[in-house]
Structure 1
């Protein structure tokens, strides 16, 4: 006997047509001899049968998952399963991940007690008892995939964690760390927190030693930033700026013009960068001997340096080596002598500030073009300022002292433009 696993209805239709009209094969010779394919084994026959059913009507997700699982258990390759059902191999791999779920999960999916997305969330679990416990809690409820995953892996660490990014998954696995890859969301969960922390600390210490080589000290920070409370009493060092020779300065101007015109070639760009490096300067050996860096890993998993800083205990040596001079020799150190009491009263100081502000405002009203010049300078590299170019704050600064005897007041300050007085109305404040 030969069993028909696919095409049975078509065969019966041909047989019925011949019974009704014996001459049908004369008009259609192709019906006289029907080509068939014989499966080499039972697994192949099952694959054909499943594919036939799937082609006739879309299988329910649970049925499709189980069909793929049966074929895989029978020895079928993923590529063969994909061809049989007309699906991509990636689709088959994702369905096979679901096929490994406990039967009650697939039963709940077939009965509509959980969604396909909820079923996918269960694939992150390696604990069947916990899986069934969580399944009982979520059946018939609208629970997000994220909450299910959290319940199944409460102590898991995401691969997006800065420590995991810094260490790298390959290094973590090579050290024996276990992880779970979610085929449905491309997320990875790490399960050995202690190992990850050890690898993180070990690599960060190694990186700190390399990055801060030549400096007096390097200290690693566990956080993803360096708190102000750590550095508020320290003195910050900056590179000693270099000076270009007359020839270098002329060459710098030539290269800068070419760069502005987008006409600078690769060699010229390298030369310009080298001259820029001279201008920006570098740290001296004397600075390196009294200062160091804090080393930490940012949220994105990259190593960052904060510094260089002179610690309080090194301040004396830094002053002696003239690394810290003037105000920097005492600023933020906590060791400076208290400032002498001012001979001027607070009221007088505030009046002088108001007069100075009025004088500046009057000068700018006389020469408004100066405002643009100052702004252009502040925005240029020549100013040496890279942050806080604009210093804006809400409020109404006082430009009128408490005593105006002898003060020559500009009418433009005394009489604001029309409409300005509206801002003083309480309802508009």
Structure 2
């Protein structure tokens, strides 16, 4: 006969006046956690008590019920009710829903208290996100939701953004298929299709960290800190209909501008407007570009403008600013840290002083009509105007104007000068907007073959610039290099151009990778050149006396600087038909001498600031080359992590993997110590693989005269 199942008897529930309740010492909660008692009291006041208290009768010494009840489970609710009573928002005799346990129950009060908290299942975060989304759909504002659940408005925005991720990805998160950090990363864009595409890619590759997800979602965008975005302004971009992607969970440096073509159009339009204003000053031509290449003004005459005079009020303001700055600087010179308000004020003063000191110079109208200006954007996103450059084709007319001024009388130096913004009488300036470089062509052949000629030229341009900088900082080596060149010319009958152009002829860099102008080497060279130019007399006749008066250390340093401009460590295509180009022997000799200079000045391209990026290398070579680079720097296991990716994604991931590894492509690696047979006239060693040319250009490696051929997928 089957045994009858014993039925469970639930504890009774009833309303008990609040003044008949006391907090039990059997409550196991001792540490404050979660929402505060004050917030809980406000929540009870709004929606009343949602969960009954668990109570037991209080017995006297004889074991008889006293009419009072202790609360072992629900202590925080009890304290919240107690606070409402103290605030006179709840009467002391208000009935409180309670579940009443027997005083002699087998289960202890401590066990009830622990079970009520331990057995409770926390709400899944996704349920919270979706609940907030429901409240929004019901018409509640972010502020209303935040007030009702005692969280900040930003928390509400974050949870709503999480709930807006693609439903398929929310399902993955609900099944613990991705972490909350990964889900947060997907919120930078509202494009569900793109979110799903990225998740499919990263989940298969195993490289599914949150930062990688953010990177892939924003790879076709422009950061708000980009010079173009800073120049136009994010507000103007949004006003034109542009979308800004924002990350609510991490610092995003202002976000990402999604519509790049719109941004480019706004930049071009604003630069054109600025160029029109500058053209009204009377210049013959205006060149406009987002950024001009390094050495764009080489060979042009630079007009010697004079600083514009300050008005009496401007001079008074300028003097007051400098005085205030000196006073604050002296007052806090011994302080370990400046007060915030003082630091801010010093910054404001520096900015105001710079505005006075960097005003456009004043130029002679007789000169200005033969010259032009470059209009671009500096690295901080500010308008950069470089005025007063005379092109070679205008040099004759400029010189004639000096003999027979076009306007004004001889000796009239002030009245005829034109300051920035004042229209001249010259014909309308020709405004030319620069064009971007051609897009790289794809190459499906993944075989490892010699690097494209143009890429090697760009890489050796970086090396040439860094070598110039290093040589200019090593006068001893510069002197040796100069003497070596002069002795070679004097004692060897056969003249073959070498690495040092000792005329000194400034060697141009015909192939330049993006960013070369802003590199550390370029900045160092420009700053040094400007420092010497500021000290050097403008009058050529006075230059000899100035040089003669220099101390030996200064003369040697200046010599090193001048010699450095003749450094030519560039790779060029060999002229196999005895034309005007470099011969195979000449190229080998040049590169051998460049290697000797590299060793002499201890040049390290990593220390010079070069890093492999998609733009300067990884996006320009085949997938095999990319994998080879990662394998050399990080090992086979790292190469296997990306070997299944498409070319574009592989290049981007390789850039991350190679960061801070010190890896360099072959043309930039430190030169090995070898005997330099070329200087003695013996046959040259075979060129390395990246310089080889089999004499017949194949269809895969031929370089179009009008387009840059690159090896890319």
Which bin holds the TM-score, normalised by the shorter protein? 0.5 to 0.7
Conserved 8 A contact 1:205-1:220: no
Give the helix-richer structure, 1 or 2.
1
What is the CA distance between 1:64 and its match in structure 2? 2.8
- 1:24 equivalent to 2:67? Answer yes
1:317 is aligned, of 397, 403, 406, to 397
Instruction: Give the equivalent residue in structure 2 for 1:114.
Output: 178
**Across the two proteins, how many residue pairs are aligned to each other?**
299
Pairing partner for 1:70 from 134, 144, 147: 134
CA distance, structure 2, for counterparts of residue 124 and residue 80 of structure 1: 25
Shift of 1:281: 7.6
The C-alpha deviation readout for 1:270-291, integer Å capped at 9, x for no partner, is xxx9xx99xx983222221221
- What does 1:58-97 correspond to in 2, within 5 Å? 59-97=123-161
In structure 2, relative to structure 1, the CA distance for the partners of 1:146 and 1:225 (3 Å cut) is farther
Q: 2:222 aligns with which of 157, 172, 175?
A: 157
Displacement after TM superposition at 1:172 (Å): 2.0
CA distance in 1, matches of 2:191, 2:323: 62
- Relative to the length of structure 1, the TM-score reads 0.55
- Verify the 8 A CA contact 1:157 1:190 in the aligned structure 2: yes
Could you tell me which of 244, 262, 267 is aligned with 1:200? 267
Residue in 1 aligned with 2:364? 284
Name the CA shift for 1:23/1:321 in 2 (closer, same or farther; >3 Å). same
With normalisation by structure 2, the TM-score equals: 0.35
| Residues 8, 64 of structure 1: alpha-carbon distance in 2 compared, 3 angstrom cutoff | closer
State how far apart, in whole Å, the 2-side matches of 1:94 and 1:58 are.
20
Q: Deviations over 1:93-127 (max 9, x none)?
A: 11111111233323333443322222122123333
Distance in 1 between residues matched to 2:305 and 2:170, nearest whole Å:
66
Q: Residue 94 of structure 2: which of 30, 33, 52 is its match?
A: 33
Contact 1:216 1:289 (8 Å CA) reproduced? yes
Instruction: Tell me, in whole angstroms, the C-alpha distance in 1 between the residues paired with 2:324 and 2:536.
Output: 20
Match of 1:303 in 2: 383
Aligned-partner SS, 2:95? coil
Is the CA contact 1:215–1:291 (under 8 Å) kept in the aligned structure 2? no
DSSP-derived class of the 1:24 partner: strand
Distance, in Å, in 1 between the alignment partners of 2:167 and 2:399 is 75
Hey, what does 2:239 align to over in structure 1?
174
Query: Is 1:10 matched with 2:77?
Result: no
2-side partners of 1:260 and 1:125: how far apart? 48
Equivalents in 2 of 1:200, 1:303: separation in Å? 11
Q: For the residues of structure 2 that align with 1:59 and 1:301, how far apart are their CA atoms? A: 47
- 1:335-363 per-position Cα deviation (integer Å, ceiling 9, x unaligned): xxxxxxxxxxx77x99xxxxxxxxxxxxx
Task: Give the drift of 1:8.
Answer: 5.4
**TM-aligned CA distance change 1:34 to 1:393, over 3 Å:** farther
In 1: Cα distance, 2:70 partner to 2:144 partner: 38
| Residues 204 and 220, structure 1, Cα contact 8 Å, conserved in 2 | no
Q: Residues 34, 102 of structure 1: CA spacing in aligned structure 2 closer, same or farther, 3 A cutoff?
A: farther
For the residue of structure 1 that corresponds to 2:185, the secondary structure is helix
Alignment gaps of 5+ in structure 1: 37-52, 244-254, 264-268, 325-345, 351-378, 397-428
Residue 233 of structure 1 corresponds to: 299
Q: Contact 2:220 / 2:258 at 8 angstroms: preserved in 1?
A: yes
Decide whether aligned partners of structure 1 residues 311 and 8 sit closer, same or farther in structure 2, where only a CA change above 3 A counts: closer
2:198 to 130, 134, 139: 134
Q: Is 1:221 aligned with 2:264?
A: no
**Cα separation, partners in 2 of 1:154 and 1:240, compared to 1, 3 Å:** closer
Q: Give the whole-Å Cα distance in 2 for the aligned partners of 1:238 and 1:88.
A: 59
CA contact (8 A) 1:134 1:148 kept: yes
Q: What is the deviation of 1:167?
A: 1.5
Q: What per-residue deviation string (whole Å, max 9, x for no partner) do you get for residues 208-260 of structure 1?
A: 222343232342333423431x32231111125899xxxxxxxxxxx89x969
